[in-house]
Structure 1
């Protein structure tokens, strides 16, 4: 069983806005990508200067920053790794996440004191492999996503106590083994192992018989075809206790390409669930409002992955899209004088019922009875993007609290 003080909520960060969201809503640590060597090319926005800014902000709040370096670089890329590592050192990165054994060795060479976490792409499924990475100098292993809780517990029991165990607990699943996929590269020449996955597993497919060119047949009897490779999203919020008992130290949320709203809501949910667990591990139970939070972001149908054995219902064949039931309509800038001052994100009107999510407590619902533009003129609708405005209310919420509305 993991000691309480070793339990970490680890949030994804794609840019500075999402960094603030993760920190505001309770992440113990964040992981992010630089401008190279990361598995999310679309969210690789942290150059050397911005990386330093991110680390300074996180460290000022007592939080940690992990930098992804988990692609499989080719010969022409590996020569740039030394500068990448030096930039990470200069920025104050707390750990680097690596997959390739050559990259691992070069990080040790260029930054001997840098903490290294072995990426899930390494496919660690047994204690022998975990021990070998530990002997090479790894501080943490991010286990393959295809393991059960029993297998994780055995790995924890048969590895050194100071080797930390990290597992993905929420977010998109991959139909291929721990993200090792060639489908995208073959179909559209975008290498998933270098952060450029086009997600062809989410596409709809038909069969075509070779002698009947251009006659397409659905794999199932559905005119839309079938999303036969499409995986559900993982959600382990209700099972924090079981993960901790298996020996997991770091609870990793997937989603560096997701919105700041997603980062806020999901980080907040796992933060509060973790705090509930820590307060009374023997009687872990979540309130219904907290269980509902994971359904208030864009998501696919949820499952529990492989944690409870081979998943019988981990694929979703109906479509490749997301379920989205809530819109963010504003973000709180401050509260004073019976007003909630905010920045508009999406249109909403006087008379609408809104819900405010803050890092403190449960969401608060109320009806907008009066609202004003930035010049204090009474308005009936907030319909200008990013407009400054206020809502009449004696309620107070912290800065960056989220105002949302059911679609």
Structure 2
């Protein structure tokens, strides 16, 4: 049985550090150019060097996305960029365009190549083509079932790695190759600037009835809206491993450090729990499943892994399920449990909060006393980015997160 890699998103240096602290085996990220997530902060050249060094010092790999579909005038800069990635020690470049692959093999032949999901690898002949092109890893199309993935695994060399998305937002377009954003906004999705036009609310208007809008609905014959649910495979770790998937990829480079930490920790714990007790009747512990539900998400489903979901992947609106939210991020703590946090969302004395820490159970507590930098007792923490001093009965770990349940702690007057 292979031990799958937990591959987490890193939209910036903060999220890279949280992903590593909460159990990622590898992270994927982008520089300021040539990546498919322009909305993320991404990494400057200096940050790339620093981030790769930080990860390697902790035994974590870094894969850099170079998966846009470039125009001819971008290749001179691309050559320099690929040379930098090799110099900085990137563990692989994630690529999709044949021109980029050709340049990479010429300029930095020692840099491992991972073939992006943008290439829509749906069968073992396509997979074998990329293997012959020098790929060390293939990122399979999200439209495949577990049985189809197993078939591909059986027909390619065992040393070639298979990476699949297991959690996060799903793109309604075929393997993410979309022109809707370009058409509606002029923002090129294939250059990382997707406006997510697919998640807007649409209606039908007939040519001779201007101004009369008719709702667009879903029925048993198919989906007539573009918006999709989020993928979640936390309950199916054994099936993913049995299919021969090498790397479990978590979507979300544009999401928060809280998302990165919480989802990474959940999959880390779920994989480790199964490998410690790989029984046929394995069930993911309830508290892990509960953790997944406490991170902002759309309604979950299992994508295409088990064939077409009879309930469909259609999601009726653009609203997230946000029952919990981050309250503050860790800054420091002394040996006596005197901790300092930086506020993200306000909370009040008397509220019940939860403390997340890397590798430790969640700690629930009632806020009895908190102070500002001047030592003054606060009845509320209101100002974003203010420092809050709190006492705990233990030393609080680096990268700890305070969170609160919205329904349990309604906003108070004042």
Q: Tell me the TM-score range normalised by the shorter chain.
A: over 0.9
For 1:47, the equivalent position in structure 2 comes to: 44
Q: Matched residue of 2:290: which SS?
A: helix
Q: Matched residue of 2:101: which SS?
A: helix
Deviation at 1:111? 0.6
For 1:204, the equivalent position in structure 2 comes to: 201
Q: How does 1:29-48 map to 2 (within 5 A)?
A: 29-43=26-40, 45-48=42-45
Q: Answer with 275-284 or 70-79: which moved more.
A: 275-284
Q: Matched residue of 2:306: which SS?
A: coil
Two-structure CA RMSD over aligned residues (Å): 1.6
Q: Matched residue of 1:146: which SS?
A: coil
TM-score scaled by length of structure 1? 0.95
Contact kept? 1:351, 1:369, Cα under 8 Å: yes
Contact kept? 2:232, 2:300, Cα under 8 Å: yes
Deviation at 1:369? 1.1
Q: Answer with 285-294 or 41-50: which moved more.
A: 41-50
For 1:311, the equivalent position in structure 2 comes to: 309
Q: 2:72 aligns with which of 75, 87, 90?
A: 75
- d(CA) in 1 for partners of 2:92 and 2:315? 38
Deviation at 1:227? 7.9
TM-score scaled by length of structure 2? 0.93
Q: 1:139 aligns with which of 136, 143, 146?
A: 136
- d(CA) in 2 for partners of 1:392 and 1:36? 44
Q: Matched residue of 2:39: which SS?
A: helix
Q: Deviations over 1:205-252 (max 9, x none)?
A: 11111011222121249xxxx981100000001111110010000000
Q: Say whether residues 1:149 and 2:161 are aligned partners.
A: no
For 1:269, the equivalent position in structure 2 comes to: 266
For 2:411, the equivalent position in structure 1 comes to: none
For 2:398, the equivalent position in structure 1 comes to: 399
For 1:60, the equivalent position in structure 2 comes to: 57
For 1:190, the equivalent position in structure 2 comes to: 187
- d(CA) in 1 for partners of 2:162 and 2:42? 27
- Cα 1:210–1:259 shift into 2, 3 Å: same
Deviation at 1:322? 1.2
- Aligned residue-pair number: 400
For 2:360, the equivalent position in structure 1 comes to: 361
Q: How does 1:2-401 map to 2 (within 5 A)?
A: 2-4=1-3, 7-43=4-40, 45-220=42-217, 228-282=225-279, 284-332=282-330, 333-401=332-400
Contact kept? 2:336, 2:394, Cα under 8 Å: no
- Cα 1:96–1:44 shift into 2, 3 Å: farther
Deviation at 1:44? 5.2
Contact kept? 2:338, 2:389, Cα under 8 Å: yes
Q: Deviations over 1:71-129 (max 9, x none)?
A: 11111112321011011112111100000111111111111111100000000011111
Deviation at 1:164? 0.2
Segments of 5+ residues of structure 1 without an aligned counterpart are none
Q: Deviations over 1:347-386 (max 9, x none)?
A: 1111110001111232111111111222222222111222
Q: Deviations over 1:130-164 (max 9, x none)?
A: 11111111000000000000000111111101000
Deviation at 1:315? 2.8
Contact kept? 1:172, 1:232, Cα under 8 Å: yes
Contact kept? 1:69, 1:97, Cα under 8 Å: yes
Contact kept? 1:33, 1:44, Cα under 8 Å: no
Deviation at 1:318? 2.3
Deviation at 1:202? 0.3
Q: Matched residue of 2:248: which SS?
A: strand
- d(CA) in 2 for partners of 1:165 and 1:41? 26
- d(CA) in 2 for partners of 1:326 and 1:52? 35
Q: Matched residue of 1:309: which SS?
A: coil
Q: Answer with 340-349 or 17-26: which moved more.
A: 340-349
Contact kept? 2:9, 2:29, Cα under 8 Å: yes
- d(CA) in 1 for partners of 2:119 and 2:282? 33
Deviation at 1:175? 0.8
- d(CA) in 2 for partners of 1:361 and 1:336? 17
